[in-house]
Amino acid sequence: MTPLLSPQQIALWQQLTADARHIIITCHRGPDGDAIGSTTALASWIRRHNPAAEVHIIAPNIFPDFLKWIPGAADILIYDKHEAEVRALVEAADLVIMCDHGELSRMWTLGDVVRDHVCPRIMIDHHLNPEPDIAALAISLPNLSSTCEVLLRILLEIRDQTGEPQEEFLTHDEAVSLYTGMMTDTGAFTYASSRPEIFELISILLRCGIDKDKIYRNVFFTYSPNRLKFQGYMLYVKLDVWKKAHASIMTLTNAERRRFGILNGDTEGLVNLPLQILGMKLSIFLREDTEHPCIRVSLRSVDDFPCNEMAAEFFGGGGHKNAAGGEIWGTMDEAVALIKKAVQKYMPFLKD
């Protein structure tokens, strides 16, 4: 595998992670498997390599129940729930490590708290267009599947550099966390996962003793009866297929959430389902935000349709080519109207 880090970057990593005594590890708002997997694996790795350091993982807001089993996830502090405590921890930090986000604004108000506190930062990420000049060490690799893949490769390079024994460079739990993030960010290795290195990395994780089939079930087979029925409702009643555009749209209101008893995380993965339709190129999912008067947009595509460009141009967001998101400040009707405009503009990518 081609090295990701230069010798100078490895030295800087070693220096920053060894010298710090109060380390904060952050992730983006709406944490997903990659965010929770990378932060928990990294926190554990740093605690083993720098036992003098106090390490805290901070998430801007809550994460879905189907990620709570991840080793170390129970210790994650939620800024929304413990604002004062988190603020004090950030202000005491002598190192902040941003995982799975390349912009401070992806943490919303927590991003301002971190921005205002002067201390070295490390960025470990795989999103396009990282914010410049916010990290002493910025490791941003948009071609890799996940932040967990970036992190695993960093830890392997450090192992090779320091001559750490093969079997000690990762614990079983760290391997579980890293596999979870790689798996969730690739739809269980069904997209963004055709590079052979990914499978070399998986084999390394398997040698750490992970049970990949159990991890799959822990994440994906966790539906409540309500959730499965809700999914049926969304597909049967709410899915609108725009045949000529090879696109589809589903919308979800907060009233519908209440009707089906939908919990945080219950909508996860729904946006991927319409891509199972033959010829479908773009799936759009609009949902009323539960906390703010805006509509969250999720886009998923196959092949060359640039979801990230559409999200940036129309919905103030971004992401990856085949998976992106953003938001629309307005009513659901206004959001649908804007989506139609966006689809028109991108029609050259969609029609036959």
Strand partners, 296: 287, 327
Phi/psi of residue 130, nearest 5 degrees: -65, 145
Shortest Cβ distance from residue 238 to Mn ion (Å)?
27
319 binds, among Mn ion, ligand 5GP, none (CB under 5 to 8 A by kind): ligand 5GP
Closest distance of CB 144 from ligand 5GP, Å: 13
Alpha-helical regions (H) of the chain:
7-19, 33-49, 83-92, 109-116, 147-162, 172-185, 196-207, 212-220, 225-233, 254-260, 307-315, 332-345, 347-350
Q: Which two tokens stand for residue 218?
A: 């822990």
- CB of 100 or CB of 157, closer to Mn ion: 100
Positions touching ligand 5GP (CB under 6 A) are 127, 298, 317-320, 323-327
CB of 24 to ligand 5GP, least distance (A): 21
Pattern 181-220, binding to Mn ion, x per CB under 5 A? ----x-----------------------------------
CA 68-254-235 angle, 5° bins = 80
Residue 31 DSSP class: -
Binding partner of residue 313 among ligand 5GP, Mn ion, none, CB cut-off 5 to 8 Å per kind: none
Should residue 125 be labelled a site residue for Mn ion when binding is judged by CB under 5 A? Answer: no
Residue 100: contacted member of ligand 5GP, Mn ion, none (CB under 5 to 8 Å, by partner type)? Mn ion
| Alpha-carbon span 181 to 28, nearest angstrom | 14
Q: Does 288 engage in binding with Mn ion (CB under 5 A)?
A: no
- Rounded Cα distance, 55 and 164, in Å: 22
> Which token pair is 176?
């579980």
Q: For residues 31 and 156, which CB has a smaller minimum distance to ligand 5GP in the complex?
A: 31
Question: Token pair for residue 261?
Answer: 């008893």
Question: What is the footprint of Mn ion within residues 84-103 (CB under 5 A)?
Answer: 100
Which of 241, 168, 242, 179 minimizes the C-alpha distance to 205? 179
From the list Mn ion, ligand 5GP, none, pick the one residue 124 interacts with, judged by a Cβ distance below 5 to 8 Å according to partner type.
none
The verdict on 268 binding Mn ion (CB under 5 A) reads no
Judged by beta carbon, residue 142 or residue 330, the one nearer Mn ion is 142
Comparing CB distances to ligand 5GP, the nearer of 7 and 316 is: 316
Write out the residues near Mn ion by the rule CB under 5 A: 34, 100, 146-147, 185
